Structure 1
Amino acid sequence: MMKIAWVTDSTASRTVEKLNNVFVVPMNILIGGKEYKDGIDLFPQELFHLLKEKGSDAKTSQPSIGVFQELYSSLQEEYDHIFSIHVSAAFSGTISSARQAAQLVDIPVTVIDSKILSYPLTKLLLQGMEAESKGMSPSEIERVLLAKIDTGETYVMVGSLEQLHKSGRMNGVSFFLGSVLKIKPILAIKDGKLEVEEKVRSTVKGYSRMKDYLDEVLQSKEINEVYILYGLNKGEADSWVNDLAGKYPGINFSSHELGAVIGVHAGENTLGISWFAD
């Protein structure tokens, strides 16, 4: 039976690090002139502490081609094929680094743009591993994953306009107007790209609207799992889980940390909701 190595990046949930045959390439975070490896040197708690303590701007960057090439090469002896599944190409150049590195090694590498991030990225990897356990070929696994990606929806309520602006993801005029009007944008991830779905004035209103999105999709699609995503506010995320589980008893709800790289851009109070249709 073919043995497959699974490679992802540190924007995925940290739970993947504990899985056999899974390898995580860290993203880079630059704060105050110092570079950190996400999930190795820096975790969300420390990130937000540094941002508050130093008041520094933070930036992120993708792993280099060389990092991927070295990892892929090290896997050639033990594995027959590599699946490398990464954060949306619209958010990071990680996919580009992975694809270029794949051309430099002898082992076949299937690179997949998840068009997503955080726990939903992890879920895709888990689905791929499940397909492998059923004896599917790499081409069959790839088809399964690409079909799943097309069913995904994610909505994120940004916790900090200032952080979004500092990270270069929001222009100055939008930041100024949003701050003055105390607007919280709800961003949708569509085809891997961030779009402003709508703007609300409070977390309560944002949560209400995200429940509406779920209601709307359930009218035409079957959903078995929904993921609540959070920056640091696990208590609020768990509150959402409990509330939604009571309203939709047939769906499995769970909360998951967004991670430090996403926190750089969105802030510690960010909350989101995500699912794949079945």
Structure 2
Amino acid sequence: MERIAWVTDSTGTLDEELSLNEHVYVVPMVVIIDGKEYEDGVDLLPEELYRRMSEEKITATTSQPSVGRFQELYKELEKRYDRIIAVHLSSELSGTVSASRQAAQMVTIPVDVFDTLLISFPMLLILKKLMHYIDNGDSINEAFVKTRMYADNHETYVLIGSLDQLHRSGRLTNAQYILGSLLSFKPIISIENGLLHTKSKPRNLKKAEKQIFTDFRRSVEAGKVKECTILYGAVSEQAQRWKKMISEEFPQVLTHVSPLGSAIGVHTGEQTIGISWFNED
């Protein structure tokens, strides 16, 4: 059996299962604050980022890991493994997939790169799905085809916590920011084909939550949802409240709760919360 190393990026926060897997490796995203580069999850944790965003009103940006960073890891892994499978956030939102693929051309070990077209913990659920198929005897191509079908049937809705931060990071135009601030809307962002889209602009948190849970309830009642993920910035209590609501109404659905990493928090702010699920036949 091939010895496979699994590589991903820090936009997904590893759960206990993946953290304990010695064959999983994380390449950190880069967060840039006042011209200084920090590695997400290494020398900058979300808590510190949110503190500085709140107290210092910093302007932060992000960058994908360099090709050299991937190459360095892949060269080290080829000493101990027969193959590398890299699973990354959407290529429509970051150059990480491209950097990983470029590095793959610079090493002798086979490297297969899977573009999830997702972010954060849902990206890691895709990694787990690939692991499952390959562990159960599927070829790399078979596993990729099955997992692509699974990944393409997701729904992800994120309630943006800070228009200020989205504006400062350059993801919101001046006109959008001014209009949003005047109307006090709470934009719900969806991920479709790897891109961010504004699904709707409810006027308050209560209406936004109701809309998100209406969409989730529709999928669950259709019998398509086996598990979901609640994603959050620094609002862990709200995330747990959402989990309780889901567990009480839909006890058959496995609910994960996962924090968003610094590289995502830069753009969305600490009050961000969302939910993601896969519609399975």
Partners of 1:161 and 1:79 lie apart in 2 by 45
Identity %: 42
Partners of 2:247 and 2:116 lie apart in 1 by 27
Structure 1 residues 80-139: Cα deviation after superposition (integer angstroms, max 9, x where no partner)? 111111011111110110111111111111111111111101111111122222132222
1:151 maps onto 2:187 in alignment: no
- Which residue number corresponds to residue 5 of structure 1? 5
- Which residue number corresponds to residue 213 of structure 1? 215
Which stretch shows the higher mean deviation, 72-81 or 54-63? Answer: 72-81
Partners of 2:19 and 2:171 lie apart in 1 by 29
- Which residue number corresponds to residue 37 of structure 1? 39
The answer (yes or no) to whether the contact 1:7–1:85 under 8 Å persists in 2 is yes
- Which residue number corresponds to residue 14 of structure 1? 14
Structure 2 unaligned spans of 5+: none
- Which of these residues, 83, 96, 110, is aligned with residue 81 of structure 1? 83
Structure 1 residues 12-64: Cα deviation after superposition (integer angstroms, max 9, x where no partner)? 11333432200100000011222110010011100011112321100000001
Partners of 2:81 and 2:206 lie apart in 1 by 49
CA RMSD of aligned residues (A): 1.2
Residue 150 of structure 1 and its aligned partner are, at CA, apart by 0.9
Partners of 2:71 and 2:256 lie apart in 1 by 35
Aligned length: 278
Structure 1 residues 220-248: Cα deviation after superposition (integer angstroms, max 9, x where no partner)? 45111011110000100110110121111
Partners of 1:171 and 1:47 lie apart in 2 by 23
TM-score, length-normalised on structure 2? 0.95
TM-score, length-normalised on structure 1? 0.96
- The AA in structure 1 aligned to 2:100 is A
Residue 253 of structure 1 and its aligned partner are, at CA, apart by 1.7
- Which residue number corresponds to residue 203 of structure 2? 201
Structure 1 unaligned spans of 5+: none
User: What SS is found at the alignment partner of 1:7?
Assistant: strand
Partners of 2:28 and 2:265 lie apart in 1 by 15
- Which of these residues, 57, 60, 63, is aligned with residue 61 of structure 1? 63
- Which residue number corresponds to residue 92 of structure 1? 94
1:47 maps onto 2:49 in alignment: yes
User: What SS is found at the alignment partner of 1:200?
Assistant: coil
User: What SS is found at the alignment partner of 1:201?
Assistant: coil
- Which residue number corresponds to residue 101 of structure 1? 103
1:23 maps onto 2:48 in alignment: no
Partners of 1:18 and 1:29 lie apart in 2 by 26
User: What SS is found at the alignment partner of 2:201?
Assistant: strand
Runs of 4+ in structure 1 off by over 4 angstroms are none
- Which residue number corresponds to residue 276 of structure 1? 278
Partners of 1:188 and 1:53 lie apart in 2 by 29
User: What SS is found at the alignment partner of 2:187?
Assistant: strand
Partners of 2:217 and 2:276 lie apart in 1 by 13
1:133 maps onto 2:135 in alignment: yes
Structure 1 residues 172-220: Cα deviation after superposition (integer angstroms, max 9, x where no partner)? 1000110111111001100110000000122221111001111222354
Pairs within 5 Å for 1:230-249: 230-249=232-251
The answer (yes or no) to whether the contact 1:17–1:23 under 8 Å persists in 2 is no
The answer (yes or no) to whether the contact 1:90–1:192 under 8 Å persists in 2 is yes
Partners of 2:256 and 2:26 lie apart in 1 by 22
User: What SS is found at the alignment partner of 1:2?
Assistant: coil
Partners of 2:46 and 2:203 lie apart in 1 by 26
Residue 72 of structure 1 and its aligned partner are, at CA, apart by 1.0
